[in-house]
A and B are shown apart, each in its own frame.
Chain A
Amino acid sequence: NAGVMQNPRHLVRRRGQEARLRCSPMKGHSHVYWYRQLPEEGLKFMVYLQKENIIDESGMPKERFSAEFPKEGPSILRIQQVVRGDSAAYFCASSPTSGIKDNEQFFGPGTRLTVL
């Protein structure tokens, strides 16, 4: 059973370009979470999605950022018109249920975005 997969592992963009980060959850998992990690910081929650639904996007910046988790295919985190401050590691996690009690999440290896 493959773990959470993210691609690309490294992404370099120039200011103003778009960044698309992909996440394939573990087999059988229908819940996906995106987190951002700035250098020397912990992870900050961005968005929580189930298939075709955004459940909680309270951690997403109001502009330029969007996320989706279609019925078929990976979850996509899109950042439009990137700025240098978007440079960070973006991690995706998945879980089989929303699990109020035991919401263990399985993390992918992350995508490291560098904005030049």
Chain B
Amino acid sequence: SQQGEEDPQALSIQEGENATMNCSYKTSINNLQWYRQNSGRGLVHLILIRSNEREKHSGRLRVTLDTSKKSSSLLITASRAADTASYFCATASGYSTLTFGKGTMLLVSP
């Protein structure tokens, strides 16, 4: 079974709109992280939310975590064309390794 599954698989919006991506996981976690990957590039760390936190903000990003439902959401407000990328959630439950989902492909059109 997949730990860290993102939903939707793909999302297409216009510039200025908000984008919401969801992530579900199966086991208990220490923290949950969101990463961005531009096509053909490495991953960029966006935000980390600990298991005892419910909401976190960073610039135009807002992350929520519901440990009772084992789910998280990433909201990008006022999206820009430069936000076009794949977004992955990753859970940390062991001492160090991360378990990634398959990602959400976000396309922001001008």
Contacts and interface: CB of A to CB of B under 8 A. Distances in A.
Given A42-B100, A42-B102, A44-B100, A103 B45 contact: no
B43 A103 contact: no
B30 A45 contact: no
Contacts, number: 70
Given A91-B42, A107-B42, A101 B30 contact: yes
Contacts of A102: 31, 48, 50
A25 interface: no
B98 interface: yes
A109 B94 CA distance: 25
Interface string B19-39: 000000000001101010000
Interface residues of B, number: 26
Contacts of B42: 4, 91, 107-110
B100 A103 contact: no
Interface of A: 4, 31, 33, 35, 40-45, 48, 55-56, 59, 91, 93, 95, 98-110, 112
Interface of B: 4, 30-31, 33, 35, 40-45, 48, 50, 88, 90, 92, 94-103
